């Protein structure tokens, strides 16, 4: 096994990208520029890292697998624009990067087992982020980009679209990876809104309403939200309580969250 080879580990959800055509297409979608601040999550063996550094941008990477650290340092450690952070991206403090607001461009071929919690962790840091380009399981990207009315519309769609514009860019087959995963992948672009299109009084209450609503997605809102909101409060939000959660758009969920804020304030008073 050469210094640049490393056996993918199941426990880290590793599938290394090796298709040169796919790598080039991802790099062209990102369009990194000299002087920009990039953050790559899970660089693996450096398939994207090389092209990102070639742009002239400053690049931080976060890698959990200790066995990959010497490989990455051998390849890129001499580049003054490269900085390696060993650790778990789910626990990473993005304030450490000292990035100015809306400057950080995040890139990652994300392990499928952590993709959703990691996206929520990044959304907590949305004011720092200019955009995000991720390789994800295709069905996850379909959920991110979904609209109301279908089975893909749910908590992930609503909370990500509350914070970001979502673009499903293109799909990637299993053969682009080593080892090939058992699922198709896709590239998604997430761009945090400069101004939220539907700002909630408290986005934590929005998260709570959405979580409760979709816990039993086949039930009506009147039933699934009864622990949070009485029927008259749902109606006061301009929402029909006999609808199922997947039938509501983002704006309607924000109105429900704002009603919950009012309901809780009234209860305190």
The per-residue pLDDT for 14 is 57
Which of 265 and 260 is assigned the larger pLDDT? 260
Measured between alpha carbons, how far is 210 from 250 in angstroms, rounded to an integer?
10
Residue 190's closest CA among 156, 207, 165? 165
Measured between alpha carbons, how far is 34 from 53 in angstroms, rounded to an integer?
9
Which of 111 and 76 is assigned the larger pLDDT? 76
Q: Residue 112's pLDDT band (boundaries 50, 70, 90)?
A: confident
Domain assignments of the chain as residue spans, ordered by start: 10-192, 203-268
**How many residues can be counted in the chain?**
269
Mean pLDDT of 108-131: 92
Q: Which two tokens stand for residue 205?
A: 């209450």
Measured between alpha carbons, how far is 1 from 116 in angstroms, rounded to an integer?
33
Domain 203-268: assigned CATH number: 1.10.8.100
Q: Which two tokens stand for residue 104?
A: 């950080």
Q: Which two tokens stand for residue 163?
A: 């914070």
In the predicted structure, residue 89 carries a pLDDT above the cut 80: yes
| Per-residue pLDDT reduced to its tens digit, 120-173 | 999 999 999 999 999 999 999 999 999 999 999 999 999 999 999 999 999 999
Within 13 Å of residue 70, how many CA atoms lie on the same side as its CB?
6
**Cis peptide leading into residue 179 (ω within 30°):** yes
| Per-residue pLDDT reduced to its tens digit, 198-241 | 999 999 999 999 999 999 989 999 999 999 999 999 999 999 99
| Per-residue pLDDT reduced to its tens digit, 2-29 | 334 445 444 444 578 889 999 999 999 9
Measured between alpha carbons, how far is 145 from 136 in angstroms, rounded to an integer?
12
Tell how far CA 192 is from the center of its chain. 11
Q: Residue 78's pLDDT band (boundaries 50, 70, 90)?
A: very high
* CB-based contacts of 17, cutoff 8 Å, min separation 6: 23, 44, 47, 48, 109, 135, 176, 177
Q: How far is CA 19 from CA 25, 53, 75, in A?
A: 10, 18, 19
Q: Which two tokens stand for residue 28?
A: 């062209």
The per-residue pLDDT for 187 is 97
Measured between alpha carbons, how far is 23 from 44 in angstroms, rounded to an integer?
13
Tell me yes or no: is domain 10-192 CATH 3.40.50.150. yes
Please give the helix or strand (H or E) that residue 5 lies within, else none: none
Residue 82's closest CA among 109, 125, 48, 132? 48
DSSP-derived letter for residue 68 is G
Mean pLDDT of 90-105: 93
Which of 35 and 265 is assigned the larger pLDDT? 35
Q: Which two tokens stand for residue 136?
A: 């994800």
The per-residue pLDDT for 9 is 47
């Amino acid at each position: 096994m050469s210094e640049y080879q490393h056996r993918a580990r199941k426990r880290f959800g590793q599938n290394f990208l090796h298709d040169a055509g796919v790598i080039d297409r991802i790099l062209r979608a990102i369009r990194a520029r000299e002087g920009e601040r990039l953050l790559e999550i899970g660089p693996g063996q450096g398939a994207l890292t090389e092209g990102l550094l070639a742009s002239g941008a400053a690049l931080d990477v976060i890698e959990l697998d200790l066995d990959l650290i010497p490989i990455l340092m051998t390849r890129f450690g001499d580049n003054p624009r490269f900085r390696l952070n060993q650790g778990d991206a789910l626990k990473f403090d993005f304030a450490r990067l000292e990035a100015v607001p809306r400057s950080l461009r995040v890139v990652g071929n994300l392990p499928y087992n952590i993709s959703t919690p990691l996206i929520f962790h990044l959304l907590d840091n949305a004011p720092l982020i200019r955009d995000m380009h991720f390789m994800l399981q295709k069905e996850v990207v379909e959920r991110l980009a979904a609209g109301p009315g279908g089975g893909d519309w749910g908590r992930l769609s609503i909370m990500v679209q509350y914070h970001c514009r979502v673009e499903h860019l293109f799909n990637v087959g299993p053969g682009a990876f080593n080892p090939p995963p058992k699922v198709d992948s896709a590239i998604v672009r997430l761009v945090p809104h400069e101004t939220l299109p539907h700002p909630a009084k408290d986005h934590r209450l929005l998260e709570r309403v959405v979580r409760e609503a979709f816990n039993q997605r086949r039930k009506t809102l009147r039933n699934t939200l009864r622990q949070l909101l009485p029927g008259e409060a749902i109606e006061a939000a301009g929402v029909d309580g006999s609808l199922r959660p997947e039938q509501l758009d983002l704006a309607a969920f924000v109105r429900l969250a704002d009603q919950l804020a009012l309901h809780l304030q009234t209860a305190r008073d």
